[in-house]
């Protein structure tokens, strides 16, 4: 009998950031599990993979240009680490600096111990904090007695002020959440970003009652580090011994032998072919090949322009997702030139302080090996949804702003060992009220497109674990579609 051969399904992944790299990895793995041969091509418009994500050695420092750690209470990141065999490269945050600071009238003050973004998990520690007035503290603790008024969705600002009062919102909650989402809290959807707080109100009426119930239920199992940390629950965060590029490099190594990796190649258009596949072209009109399936791992604005001729309703929904930009000024300093002890992982700044920076991350306090002995690496964040105008400034002006603010807040003097500006242009999707319903509609519209899927940080989460999980799920959906359809001619 003649041998029966199966032509591999040709799949294009558009966008070579962490989402696109992870998509290639999971397409390979899932196709092997399902005995479905695939031929994958990854298209990246820039000259490197990983987007802004990466670690760059510089003058004895390990400079992080993107995320400097990832959280482990979402499974996507740690699952991929295990699949790549990188467990031995993981490192925990340094416990001696495990706290955060909040600016209050120009002074960096400790976040109350156990304050979990919005709710005090150890309410009595709030009473000792100088961040709030006596009236503000009483208003926070009064949340215990307030009846629940659960809603399907609500803005962060509305919810926080309703439950804990305006002072706690402005002085603690807004800067802590703003440090994650760089968003306008008056528009930020709580259901899309922090749904657990809505669920806590629905189940227990009061968020304080909810956390006290959790403590009683799990006290014998709870890691004390999660309670003692000031600010974010830093015991849940990990990085790698040589920086976050360890994950990126491992992903590239895992896929490059079985994928075609094309840098400096922009995909300008997708058109349907007679074989129910897609023809890709560049901006000069040249063919980039025909593919049975396409996984778009681009920011929503770029996905919009690509998909508008093919699926105008889907593109219109993508276009409704707003984006903000930010910049990071990364600097290295001798500790001798800093008045403050810098005994924390970072500082967040309330909008009511009217400063020109959003936050300062002390990367070398979080993890060892990020700065030479006797030095510190700082990452100063500028811009975000509330200060977009500052991003019109030149790199030199942004460096000057950062150094002036660092001097005023921490007493940083002298010439830095280095300065580097990293711009995240339109890289921060804004999960505004209605985002959950919008994404649900986007998924419904995408499901109608044969051989097409979407992944990235525009949909169900902005963190590293979120986009990895987005890539894995999109890969599964795409292969399910393709296994029910003939390959492109």
List strand residue ranges (DSSP E) for 78-194, in order: 90-92, 100-104, 107-110, 115-116, 119-120
Q: pLDDT confidence of 224, banded at 50, 70, 90?
A: very low
225: pLDDT strictly greater than 60: no
Q: pLDDT confidence of 488, banded at 50, 70, 90?
A: very low
CATH number at residue 475: 3.50.50.60
In the block, which residue shows the tokens 């600097």? 331
Does residue 233 lie in a domain region?
no
Could you tell me if 415 and 464 lie in one domain? Answer: no
DSSP reduced 3-state for 323: strand
* Domain, as residue range, for 264: 9-51+244-321+432-482
What average pLDDT does the structure give for the chain? 92
Question: Which string of b and e fits 95-110 if b means at least 16 CB within 10 Å?
Answer: eebbbbbbbbeeebeb
Kindly state the tokens that stand for 427. Answer: 């890289």
Could you tell me if 316 and 441 lie in one domain? Answer: yes
226: pLDDT strictly greater than 50: no
- Among candidate residues 429, 454, 472, the one where a domain is terminated: 429
What pLDDT is recorded for position 174? 95
Kindly state the tokens that stand for 48. Answer: 């490197």
What pLDDT is recorded for position 440? 97
DSSP reduced 3-state for 346: strand
Does residue 103 lie in a domain region?
no
CATH number at residue 338: 3.90.660.20
Does residue 57 lie in a domain region?
no
Helix (H) or strand (E) holding 303: helix 300-307
Could you tell me if 116 and 150 lie in one domain? Answer: yes
Could you tell me if 275 and 332 lie in one domain? Answer: no
CB under 8 A, 24+ apart: contacts of 357-363: 357/381, 357/382, 357/401, 357/402, 357/405, 358/178, 358/179, 358/182, 358/326, 358/382, 358/383, 358/384, 358/387, 359/175, 359/178, 359/179, 360/406, 360/409, 360/410, 361/68, 362/97, 363/64, 363/68
Helix (H) or strand (E) holding 362: strand 359-362
Does residue 62 lie in a domain region?
no
Does residue 101 lie in a domain region?
no
Could you tell me if 311 and 454 lie in one domain? Answer: yes
Could you tell me if 419 and 359 lie in one domain? Answer: yes
Could you tell me if 252 and 170 lie in one domain? Answer: no
Q: pLDDT confidence of 227, banded at 50, 70, 90?
A: very low
364: pLDDT strictly greater than 60: yes
Could you tell me if 309 and 447 lie in one domain? Answer: yes
DSSP reduced 3-state for 164: helix
Q: How far apart are CA 388 and CA 76, in angstroms?
A: 31
Segment 108-118, tens digit of pLDDT = 999 998 888 88
Q: How far apart are CA 407 and CA 339, in angstroms?
A: 9
Could you tell me if 29 and 17 lie in one domain? Answer: yes
Does residue 489 lie in a domain region?
no
Could you tell me if 328 and 417 lie in one domain? Answer: yes
What pLDDT is recorded for position 3? 41
Segment 70-119, tens digit of pLDDT = 999 999 999 999 999 999 999 999 999 999 999 999 999 999 988 888 88
CATH number at residue 120: 1.10.3110.10
Compute the C-alpha angle 168/172/173, nearest 5°: 85
339: pLDDT strictly greater than 90: yes
179: pLDDT strictly greater than 90: no
- Residue 439, Cβ neighbours under 10 Å: how many? 18
Can you state the angle between helices 245-256 and 18-33, rounded to 10 degrees? Answer: 40
Could you tell me if 333 and 316 lie in one domain? Answer: no
Segment 270-300, tens digit of pLDDT = 999 877 799 999 999 999 999 999 999 999 9
* Closest to 61 measured CA to CA, from 347, 322, 300, 363: 363
Provide the domain count of the chain: 3
Q: pLDDT confidence of 124, banded at 50, 70, 90?
A: confident
Does residue 3 lie in a domain region?
no
Segment 27-53, tens digit of pLDDT = 999 988 778 899 999 999 999 998 888
- Among candidate residues 192, 223, 254, the one where a domain is terminated: 223
Could you tell me if 310 and 453 lie in one domain? Answer: yes
What pLDDT is recorded for position 23? 98
Does residue 64 lie in a domain region?
no
């Amino acid at each position: 009998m003649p041998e029966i051969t199966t032509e591999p399904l040709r799949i294009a992944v558009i966008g070579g950031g962490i989402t696109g790299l992870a998509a290639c990895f999971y397409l390979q793995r899932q196709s092997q599990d399902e005995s479905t041969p695939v031929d994958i091509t990854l298209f990246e418009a820039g000259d490197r993979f990983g987007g802004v994500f990466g670690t760059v050695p510089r003058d004895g420092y390990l400079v992080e240009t993107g995320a400097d750690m990832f959280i482990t209470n979402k499974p996507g990141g740690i699952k991929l680490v295990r699949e790549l065999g990188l467990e031995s490269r993981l490192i925990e945050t340094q416990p001696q600096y495990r706290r955060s600071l909040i600016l209050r009238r120009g002074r960096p003050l400790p976040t109350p111990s156990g304050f979990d973004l919005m709710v005090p998990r150890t309410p009595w520690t709030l009473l000792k904090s100088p961040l709030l007035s006596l009236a503000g503290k009483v208003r926070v603790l009064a949340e215990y007695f307030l009846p629940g008024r659960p809603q399907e969705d609500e803005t962060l600002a509305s919810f926080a002020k309703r439950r804990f009062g305006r002072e706690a919102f402005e002085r603690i909650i807004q800067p802590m959440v703003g440090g994650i989402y760089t968003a306008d809290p008056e528009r930020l959807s709580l259901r899309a970003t922090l749904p657990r707080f809505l669920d806590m109100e629905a189940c227990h009426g009061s968020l304080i009652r909810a956390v006290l119930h959790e403590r009683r239920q799990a006290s014998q199992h709870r890691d004390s580090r999660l309670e003692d940390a000031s600010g974010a629950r830093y015991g849940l965060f990990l990085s790698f011994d040589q920086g976050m590029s360890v994950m990126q490099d491992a992903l590239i190594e895992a896929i490059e032998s079985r994928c075609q990796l094309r840098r400096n190649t922009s995909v300008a258009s997708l058109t349907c072919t007679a074989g129910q596949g897609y023809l890709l072209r560049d901006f000069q009109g040249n063919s980039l090949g025909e593919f049975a399936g396409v996984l778009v791992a681009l920011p929503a604005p770029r996905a919009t322009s690509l998909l508008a001729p093919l699926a105008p309703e889907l593109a219109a929904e993508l276009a409704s997702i707003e984006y903000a930009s930010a910049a990071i000024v990364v600097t290295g300093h001798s500790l001798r030139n800093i008045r403050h002890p810098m005994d924390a992982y970072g500082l967040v700044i309330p909008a009511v302080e009217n400063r020109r920076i959003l936050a300062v991350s002390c990367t070398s306090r979080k993890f060892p090996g990020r700065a030479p002995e006797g030095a510190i690496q700082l990452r100063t964040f500028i811009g975000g949804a509330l200060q977009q105008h500052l991003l019109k400034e030149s790199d030199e002006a942004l460096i000057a702003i950062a150094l002036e603010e660092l001097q005023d807040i921490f007493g940083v003097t002298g010439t830095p060992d280095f300065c580097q500006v990293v711009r995240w242009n339109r890289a921060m999707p804004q999960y505004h009220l209605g985002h959950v319903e919008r994404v649900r509609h986007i998924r419904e519209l995408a499901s109608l497109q044969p051989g097409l899927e979407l992944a990235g940080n525009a949909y169900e989460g902005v963190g590293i674990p979120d986009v990895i999980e987005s890539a894995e799920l999109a890969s599964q959906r795409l292969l399910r579609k393709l296994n029910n359809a003939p390959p492109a001619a």
